[in-house]
A and B are shown apart, each in its own frame.
Chain A
Amino acid sequence: ILNVEQSPQSLHVQEGDSTNFTCSFPSSNFYALHWYRWETAKSPEALFVMTLNGDEKKKGRISATLNTKEGYSYLYIKGSQPEDSATYLCASNSGNTGKLIFGQGTTLQVKP
């Protein structure tokens, strides 16, 4: 069983602050790393799926990096807005199985 860990568990920032979270995962037999955004009362939605060491992906003010050798990924939000308030989940595939193991999530609250 994989162990995917996220930190911090929760984060409160002011509007306009930039922030980042960490996801750590076992690097052995790595296949893909996923980031999902989960707003209250909605379903998780995919932000990024990354597979290559050194990969960087960007969507608007949100970006992510991947280090498969040391087993971590960072999610960055530049200039946080209240609408960025959500729980951010990461998940790892081990091998080409389609089976994801999710971390516990980082809950972000952005105050206006």
Chain B
Amino acid sequence: NAGVTQTPKFRVLKTGQSMTLLCAQDMNHEYMYWYRQDPGMGLRLIHYSVGEGTTAKGEVPDGYNVSRLKKQNFLLGLESAAPSQTSVYFCASSTTGRYTYEQYFGPGTRLTVT
């Protein structure tokens, strides 16, 4: 049982390049999330998904797209990377109902845009 995994762990991009971050969970969780973590800002929600085939915007969605084609995977895309997207990206998943959306986090992806 690997929990939540993220690929890649590190990446350096040039301004304007595109990339996709992959999140996978093996806990059969309905909900999945993408956060970014910047110094002094805590965790900010980019997009989330309440189930396969559905996505919704979080606090800071601009410049990102997501897809949830399979229940276990949640992809975060940057179409044209900008230096302001330099950050550490965390994926998380959660159950619903009485577990009240307790988050299980992946190990993070450190992205630098030059």
Residue positions of A touching B, CB distance < 8 A: 1, 31-32, 34, 36, 42-46, 49, 51, 89, 91, 93, 98-105
Contacts and interface: CB of A to CB of B under 8 A. Distances in A.
A104 to B, nearest CB: 4
A34 B108 CA distance: 20
A36 B42 contact: no
Interface residue tally on B, bucketed by range: 20 to 34
A58 B61 CA distance: 36
B44 A102 contact: yes
Interface stretch (B15-23, B68-76, B99-107): B99-107
Given A99-B58, A100-B103, A105 B50 contact: no
A44 B58 contact: no
Contacts of A31: 100
Interface of B: 31, 33, 35, 40-45, 48, 50, 56, 58-59, 90, 94, 96, 99-108
Given A102-B44, A104-B42, A45 B100 contact: no
Contact of B106 (A32, A43, A93, A102): A43
Contact of A49 (B45, B99, B104): B99
Contacts of B42: 89, 102-105
B62 to A, nearest CB: 15
B75 to A, nearest CB: 19
B12 to A, nearest CB: 19
Contacts of A1: 59
